[in-house]
Amino acid sequence: MTEAVTEKGLVIVYTGDGKGKTTAALGLLYRASGYRMKGLMVQFMKGRMHSGEREAASTSSDGLITIVPLGEGFTWETKDAARDRAVAQQAFEYARKEALTGGYDLVILDEINIALRYNYIDVPQVLALLDERPEHQNIVLTGRNAPDAILERADLVTEMKMIKHPFEKGILARKGVDF
């Protein structure tokens, strides 16, 4: 009898100021779905605005990709940090529960680095989740300015570096490219 080999899941970080962090994570969801691996992306910043990724997940992923926007965009202008923290904490609790009990092979915490940066979520909370999650589960953290403790814990870190971005020429976000 051969013993099943369980590969230990990886902790992957996409950070940096260049475009491509969320897109790279979406690419992993798509790739994994080809092996019928189940993937979840919890979006910590994006609100309910329409996005191509959510549409595609719900119409053409055969139920293998779930994308849940739980952000409201943080309200730095109104300086309502207590509310932002509550929203981020709720999103984290949801992500945590799903990561631990949802049967996912791949979990993406999209833009969580931003929430960590503003102390809306605490680094030890995330480190605890990385320890507690199912052993085979790959987990991805995206967003600029990933904290050092997260970089140290990660198996894979890629920094997207901005060389040029059309925004600098006044070209705004585009359907199918940016959302």
Is 5 exposed, middle or buried (CB count within 10 Å of its CB: 0-12, 13-18, 19+)? exposed
Distance CA 15, CA 51 (A): 21
Q: Which residues pair with 68 in a beta bridge?
A: 42
Q: Give the nearest distance from C-beta 160 to ligand ATP in angstroms.
A: 6
Contact between 15 and Mg ion per CB under 5 A: no
The item of Mg ion, ligand ATP, none sharing an interface with residue 144, based on CB under 5 to 8 Å by kind, is ligand ATP
- Binding ligand ATP by CB under 6 A: which of 72, 98, 122, 178? 178
Among 34, 173, 175, 176, binds ligand ATP (CB under 6 A): 173
Q: Minimum CB separation from ligand ATP for residue 98, in Å?
A: 21
Residue ranges in 119-138 that form contacts with ligand ATP under rule CB under 6 A: none
Tokens standing for 133?
A: 């999650």
- In the bound state, the residue with its beta carbon closest to Mg ion is 22
Q: What are the structure tokens assigned to 4, written together?
A: 């099943």
Q: Which two tokens stand for residue 158?
A: 């890629």
> What does the per-residue mask of binding to ligand ATP show for 19-58, with x meaning CB under 6 A?
xxxxx-----------------------------------
Instruction: Please give the Cα distance from 33 to 19 (Å, whole number).
Output: 23
Q: Which is nearer to Mg ion, 1 or 163 (CB)?
A: 163
DSSP three-state, residue 116? helix
Of 8, 15, 12, which Cα lies nearest the Cα of 154? 12
| Interface residue list for ligand ATP (CB under 6 A) | 17-23, 111, 142, 144, 160, 162, 165, 167, 173, 178
